[in-house]
Structure 1
Amino acid sequence: MKFLFDLFPVILFFVTYKVAKLNPDSAQALSQQYLGALISGGTIDAKQAPIILATAIAIVATVLQIVYLLARRRKVDGMLWLSLGIISVMGGLTIYFHDPDFIKWKPTLLYWAFALALLVGQLGFKTNLIRKVMEQQIKLPEPVWSRVGYAWALFFVLQGALNVLMAFVVFKNNEDAWVNFKLFGATGLFFAFIVIQTMMISKYIQEPEDA
């Protein structure tokens, strides 16, 4: 359930974009009505409407995630605040300049921010953030935890670079294909990485000590 909760803005972005692509006139009318005042020049054409509308919905969805957690008096993870900051800035720029390039940078900036946080924590503060998240579920020797932390940092660096490649090279002129990759490709790679890493560390997992 937590994974679906974390993916909530991405899923809404994808669904909104696809529905808007099928109904460009309605998407244009909605974007013009609710976002026209926020856009440079004040005019949105039908081609721009799907990505602009999807971006706005993703920002709102991220805000709702935080509101939900606060309303239930639950801790808001620092990465969720970071995600809100990045999507608000890059999404806001996409809406204002009606330019999808800004929102295309959002996943990369988020992945690289995750990688930087992991590396700074592990190298600068001797704190393994991956261990803090996972050690309630599994027990590993200290050297293995260190390798796991660096592996996640490397994964996020590569995932960010891959998004740049897909958004601005492979799918440079195919916005629809990039949207598909954003949900299915990136999520698939995330799952694949988890499976591969789980297989690699399984032999090091320690059984809990008897009380």
Structure 2
Amino acid sequence: MKKLLFDFFPIIIFFVMYKIYDIYTATIALIIATAIQLSYETIRYKKVSMMHVVTFILVLTLGSATVYFHDETLIKWKVTIVNWLFGMIFIFSTYLMQKPIIQRLMEENIELPEKIWKRLNNIWGIFFLFLGTVNLFVAYTFSTDIWVDFKLFGMLGITLIFVIGQGIFLAKHVDHK
């Protein structure tokens, strides 16, 4: 639960600041919150997850451009770019790396046959691609108010449903260590 809050800290800050002020203030708060998150992780754990580094670079780049050009579309694209990037990395890792990314992340806790690791990795890749696409659909079809609500609650809900589905999938194949 603590890890989940840590990961969602910048999104929650963005959401609150948007509701109180506007998209541009929320974007500045997002940049600051993401920098704090990255700094905390560096100080506390002496290492930084690649996901947080990539997210920070995109938040800084697209967030700054959003504020500078006064164009909220740019910050909306950040969500899609991050998800598409992770989707492609997961899928490519299935075929280009000795072990898929999902296996590297989870193999200390569970044991799976190689073909299941690859399938699971590709499923996660497809999920990230899907999430990025859904974000664009919401960003271009609905108001910014709805997009901000979707960014926090909709994406979290979709992710929780996906994770529950993964748990059901894994239950059939897992050998606990």
Q: TM-score normalised to the size of structure 1?
A: 0.81
Aligned pairs (5 A) from 1:1-211 = 1-20=2-21, 50-169=22-141, 171=142, 174-208=143-177
Displacement after TM superposition at 1:127 (Å): 2.8
CA distance in structure 2 between the partners assigned to 1:200 and 1:153 by the alignment: 16
The AA in structure 2 aligned to 1:14 is F
RMSD, aligned CA: 1.1
Q: Deviations over 1:90-130 (max 9, x none)?
A: 11110001110000101000001111211222212233111
Displacement after TM superposition at 1:73 (Å): 4.1
Percentage of pairs with the same residue: 37
What is the DSSP-based 3-state SS (H/G/I as helix, E as strand, rest coil) of the residue aligned with 2:175?
coil
CA distance in structure 2 between the partners assigned to 1:159 and 1:138 by the alignment: 26
The AA in structure 2 aligned to 1:184 is F
CA distance in structure 2 between the partners assigned to 1:99 and 1:12 by the alignment: 20
**Whose relative contact order is higher, 1 or 2, with alpha carbons under 8 Å and at least 6 apart?**
2
Q: Deviations over 1:57-92 (max 9, x none)?
A: 001111101111222243101111000011111111
What is the DSSP-based 3-state SS (H/G/I as helix, E as strand, rest coil) of the residue aligned with 1:126?
coil
Q: TM-score normalised to the size of structure 2?
A: 0.96
Q: Which moved more, 1:106-115 or 1:136-145?
A: 136-145
The count of aligned residue pairs is 176
Q: Deviations over 1:36-74 (max 9, x none)?
A: xxxxxxxxxxxxxx1000000001111101111222243
The AA in structure 2 aligned to 1:9 is P
Q: Which moved more, 1:72-81 or 1:55-64?
A: 72-81
What is the DSSP-based 3-state SS (H/G/I as helix, E as strand, rest coil) of the residue aligned with 1:201?
helix
Structure 1 runs not aligned, ≥5 long: 21-49
Structure 2 runs not aligned, ≥5 long: none
